[in-house]
């Protein structure tokens, strides 16, 4: 079981696989006023940076599930580096339908809401693992401004303009689902650059090391087009944030 190979190549050097940076995860961890010992579930945990740093800084314990064997291995290694391997566990697997055996105080899906079939479905899935009074975290893109054409939405990596909402509608949507939005930390353009631009050097280094690989043509073509695509579309039109929700 694995994710598409392009991510395994282009994001192999990322600790965070979305436009958040280390300081944004630190801000979010502090904003949530996490008590030591809080159990945190993370569906689509990537390379584990959120759980590992929160275990180090706030004494939480955590379980992360991710479909990528590479990212899961990196997460376990990071837990060891930060001295929190006894408190965070990383499971390689499909998180669709995953429900924690023991209820958690925080249940998160950060930049992977397709796991629950969209934002609403992911909230429902996370809620099934949550203690009464627990917090749900959703990390999701939104439109900074509505793309005037479908072509621009596609340039941002969306299938269609309707894939995402503008921020006021995104925030209102959580209320419509019966949740209070109790905290919010948004990514910025520098964060988008860290996520997107960091792929370029990784791809270039991979190409230099693997010129004969059957995937090299595809990576070469992406490296040619991605920098201009990013500054033309994603950087201009797409926002991203993590929203903390409490059931009303
Ligand atoms: N939350 C992480 C990773 C976000 S990127 C971070 O903040 O860095 C999305 C992640 O979802 C990737 O690590 C990918 O491997 C994982 N993923 C994709 N589909 C999945 C699925 N069905 N089950 C579990 N993980 C999945």
Residue-wise pLDDT tens for the chain (248 aa)? Answer: 999 999 999 999 999 999 999 999 999 999 999 999 999 999 999 999 999 999 999 999 999 999 999 999 999 999 999 999 999 999 999 999 999 999 999 999 999 999 999 999 999 999 999 999 999 999 999 999 999 999 999 999 999 999 999 999 999 999 999 999 999 999 999 999 999 999 999 999 999 999 999 999 999 999 999 999 999 999 999 999 999 999 99
Q: In the chain, count of helices (H) and strands (E)?
A: 10, 7
* pTM of the predicted model over 0.95: yes
The finding on whether 222 has its CB within 6 A of some atom of ligand 1 is: no
CA 208 – ligand 1 centroid, Å: 27
CA 95 – ligand 1 centroid, Å: 9
CA 53 – ligand 1 centroid, Å: 17
Cα(159)–Cα(141) distance, rounded to whole angstroms?
A: 13
Question: How does 114-147 read in b/e, with b if 16+ C-beta sit within 10 Å?
Answer: ebbeebeebbebbbebbeeebbbbbbbbbbbeeb
Residue whose tokens read 């590479």? 70
Cα(46)–Cα(66) distance, rounded to whole angstroms?
A: 6
The finding on whether 6 has its CB within 6 A of some atom of ligand 1 is: no
Q: What are phi and psi of 168, to 5 degrees?
A: -60, -40
CA 86 – ligand 1 centroid, Å: 22
Q: Are strands 238-247 and 130-143 parallel, antiparallel or unpaired?
A: antiparallel
The finding on whether 14 has its CB within 6 A of some atom of ligand 1 is: no
């Amino acid at each position: 079981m694995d994710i598409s190979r392009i991510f395994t190549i282009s994001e192999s050097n990322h600790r965070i696989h979305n436009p958040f940076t280390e300081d944004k995860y630190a801000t979010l961890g502090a904003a949530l006023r996490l008590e030591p010992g809080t159990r945190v579930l993370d569906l689509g945990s990537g390379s584990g940076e959120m759980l590992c740093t929160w275990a180090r800084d706030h004494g939480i314990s955590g379980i992360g599930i991710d479909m990528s064997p590479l990212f899961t291995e990196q997460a376990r290694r990071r837990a060891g580096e930060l001295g929190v391997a006894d408190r965070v566990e990383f499971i390689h697997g499909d998180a669709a339908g995953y429900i924690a055996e023991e209820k958690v105080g925080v249940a998160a899906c950060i930049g992977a809401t397709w796991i629950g079939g969209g934002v609403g479905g992911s909230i429902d899935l996370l809620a099934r693992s949550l203690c009464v009074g627990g917090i749900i975290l959703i990390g999701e893109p939104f439109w900074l401004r509505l793309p005037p054409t479908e072509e621009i939405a596609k340039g941002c990596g969306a299938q269609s303009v309707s894939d995402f909402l503008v921020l006021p509608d995104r925030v209102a949507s959580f209320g419509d689902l019966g949740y209070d939005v109790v905290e919010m930390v948004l990514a910025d353009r520098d964060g988008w650059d860290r996520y997107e631009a960091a792929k370029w050097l990784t791809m270039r280094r991979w190409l230099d090391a693997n010129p004969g690989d059957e995937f090299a043509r595809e990576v070469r073509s992406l490296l040619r087009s991605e920098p201009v695509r990013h500054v033309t579309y994603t950087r201009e039109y797409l926002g991203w944030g993590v929203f903390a929700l409490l059931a009303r």
